[in-house]
Amino acid sequence: MIRHAVSIAFAVMSMVSVTDASALADDVLQTYNLTWSGAFLGNEASASGQITLDLTKLTNPTPLGGLGIDIVSDITSLTVTVTGASAGNGPFTESDLCACSTLGTSTLWNTNGTTVDMQKDILAQLTAAGGDFNLFFTPPGPQGSQELTLTTNGLSGDPMEMTQFAPPLGVAPTPEPATWVLMGLGFAGLAFAGLRARRTATATA
C-alpha cells in the first residue's frame, strides 16, 4: 500500500508538471525595460520606462515586408517618463495611448518576418531585422515618428532614438495566477498521498 501511495504521488507530480509546463508556455507575462535618447539627434531629451506584455497573445513573427501591427491588447502595463525635452516632459501610461498613428494604431510592432526571442535583447533583434516598435501617446505625450524613434510633445518636440528594449537581467517570465493554482493542486495531491500512506502503515502495524 505504501508503494501504491508513492506511485499515486509521483503520478500527481507528473500530471501537474506537464500541466504546469503547458501553463508556463501559454500564460506568461514578461516585463521589459525601455529607454530612448535624443543625444545622437542633437537634443537633451530622454525617456525611460517599462512595458509588460502577454506573450501568449503577441504575434511573433509579423509578416515579412508588412507595416506592422497594433499590440495594445497585449500590453498589461506600461509606463514611460520623458525628461529633458523642450516640451512634452512627464510620465505617461497605457491609459494615455491613442489610436493616432498614420495607421490608426496606438502601438506598432513589426518583426519583419523574423521570430524574435522574447527572452533576449529585443531592440538588437528588431534592428537587425529592419523591424520596428513604437508607441503613440495623446499629446503632450511622445509619438512614434520613424522606426524605433519617439518624438516628444505629440511629434512637435524632440526626437529620441530607442536605446533599450530588453528584459531586466535575471528576471524570468511570470506565470499567471492559473499556473500557481495548478502548482498548489500538485502539492495538495502529494500531501494527501503521504497522509494516506502513513495511515495505511499505521493500520497494518
Question: Each residue of 80-132: pLDDT tens digit?
Answer: 999 999 999 999 999 999 999 999 999 999 999 999 999 999 999 999 999 99
pLDDT for the residue numbered 13 = 43
* Of 100-109, 178-187, 196-205, minimum mean pLDDT range: 178-187
Triad 140, 141, 146: Cα angle to 5°: 115
Query: Is residue 24 scored above 50 in pLDDT?
Result: no
* 105 phi and psi angles, rounded to 5 deg: -115, 160
pTM of the model: 0.74
Higher model confidence: residue 189 or residue 57?
A: 57
Where residue 138 falls among pLDDT bands split at 50, 70, 90? very high
pLDDT for the residue numbered 12 = 41
Query: Is residue 5 scored above 70 in pLDDT?
Result: no
Query: Is residue 72 scored above 50 in pLDDT?
Result: yes
Using an 8 Å Cβ cutoff, are 84 and 44 in contact?
yes
DSSP at 156? T
Per-chain mean pLDDT for the chain: 83
**Which residue in 103, 174, 157, 88 sits closest to 134, CA to CA?**
103
pLDDT for the residue numbered 179 = 46
Query: Is residue 11 scored above 50 in pLDDT?
Result: no
Query: Is residue 141 scored above 60 in pLDDT?
Result: yes
Where residue 51 falls among pLDDT bands split at 50, 70, 90? very high
Query: Is residue 172 scored above 70 in pLDDT?
Result: no
**Structural domain boundaries in the chain:** 27-184
Mean pLDDT over 36-54 rounds to 98
pLDDT for the residue numbered 169 = 86
Q: Is 161 exposed, middle or buried (0-12, 13-18, 19+ CB in 10 A)?
A: middle
Residues 6+ apart with CB under 8 A from 151: 142, 143, 144, 145, 157, 158, 159, 160
Using an 8 Å Cβ cutoff, are 161 and 41 in contact?
yes
Query: Is residue 2 scored above 60 in pLDDT?
Result: no
Q: What is the dihedral of CA 71, 75, 79, 80, to 10 degrees?
A: -10
pLDDT for the residue numbered 120 = 97
